[in-house]
Chain A
C-alpha cells in the first residue's frame, strides 16, 4: 500500500512536470517549422524553455493541472477500491507538494477545499486484463483545452456535413477553426466517431493515451488523421492563435459503434502542455517500467 501510494505520487509528479518524449519531439519540429522573427516563433521558444524549466525544477508545466484522469489496467481479483483510496491519498499529497494546483471546486457551493478530492474527482477508468501487472496511465487535462472540445450530431445542416467520413472531416475541422488558439495550441485532437454522448467524449480522450508517432490500424482513419493534421496546419491559426504554420501537433481518431438513429463526432482538444504518463507496477506497487 505504501509503495503504491509513493508510486502514484511519482506518476502524478512526472505527469505534471515532464512532457512525454513523443510530444516533445513534435514540439521541437514545430519550433523549427515557424518563420524567424515572428511571434509564433518566439511563442514556441518560450514553450521549449518552459518544458526544460518545468522538468529541471520538478514543477507543473502549466498552472492548470487539470482534471485528474486515471486509466488503470489490472488483473482479475485486483482490489480497485484499495487502489482508488491510495490514488485519492496520492492526489491530496501531490497537491500539498505543489505538483497539482488546488483545482477542484464544489459546483454548487463554489467552495474549493484544496484537496482535489470530491464527487468525480479524480476520475477512474478501470479495465481488467489477463496480465499479472497493473498498468496506470494518468492524464491531467486542463480546463482551457477542455472548454474548446466539441460534439457534433450528424447530419449538420450548417456545415453541410453528412453521415460519412467527409462529414466527419468537416466537423472536426470546424472544431479546430472554432478553437483558434484558445485551447493553447498547437494542440492534439482526440476524436471518437460514433458512440453516445457520454461514451463519445470518453473514448475521444482515450486517444490521448496513444503515442503521437503511432499509426492507426484502420487505414481509412489513418488517412483521415493525416488529412486533418495537414489541412489544419494550412489554416494559419498557429501557436496560441498568433498565426503561423503549426496549428496541430497530431490527430488521433477511433470509431465506436452507434445506434442507427445517432451519429456523433466527439472532439477533445489537448493543449501543447500535454500531460500524460504511465507506468507498470509490480504486485507490491513499485514502478517497474515507464510507458512513454
Chain B
C-alpha cells in the first residue's frame, strides 16, 4: 500500500507521459482539440522534420549553446566553489546564502533585470553614453552574448553548489602532504585538487548542460530572433503551429540526444 501510491503516481505522471510523447510523435495530426488522432500511425512529423534543415540546425545550435553555457558556468563556478569551501567556517553559510538568494528572486525577474541592463535605453547604455564613451546606444539586447550572459546567470548556482559540496568533502590532508613534500601551490592544485574534484566538476557541467539544451525562456527574452534553439522550435510547433506530433517528435529527439549526458550524470551522482 505504502508502495502502491507513489508507484501508481510515477507510472501515471512520469512513465505514461513519456510513452505518450513517443506515441503522438508518430500519430497523424487532425483538426480539432486535441489536434492529433489517437491510435494512428504516421510519419508526417518525421517528414516535416527531415525536409527542413531548420530543425537539424536548431539541434546543433542548442547543443553548442548548452556546451558554451556549461563551460562558462564551470569556469566561473570552480574558483567560486573553491573560495567558498576554503572560507572560514562561520562565513560559509552566509556566502552560500549569497549564491542562493538570487536564485530565489524568480527566474523571470532576473531575466527582466538583464533586459533593463542591456537594452538600448538601459542602464549600461546610459552609463556609457553619460561617460561619453559612445555616441549612440550599443545594441546589446537580443544578441548571442546577451543570451549567454542570461544563461550563465540562470544556471551558475547549479554549478557552484555541487562543486562546493565536492570540495568541502575533499581531504585537505592530501594537499598538505603534497605541499610538505615540496609541491608548489600550482602543482598541488593540478595533481591533487583538480583530479579529486573532477567527478564533481563533471556533475556540475552536466547539471547545467542538460537543462540548458532545452532552454526556452532565456533565448526568447535575451537572444536574437535567429537563435532558434530546440526549446523555441518545440514551443513554436506547439503553441503557434499547433502541430502536436511535431512538438512531441522534437521532445523525443531532444531526450534521445540527452540520454548519454543524463546517464553519465546519474552515474556520477550515484558514485560512492
Partners in one complex: no
Q: Which residues of A contact B (CB under 8 A)?
A: none
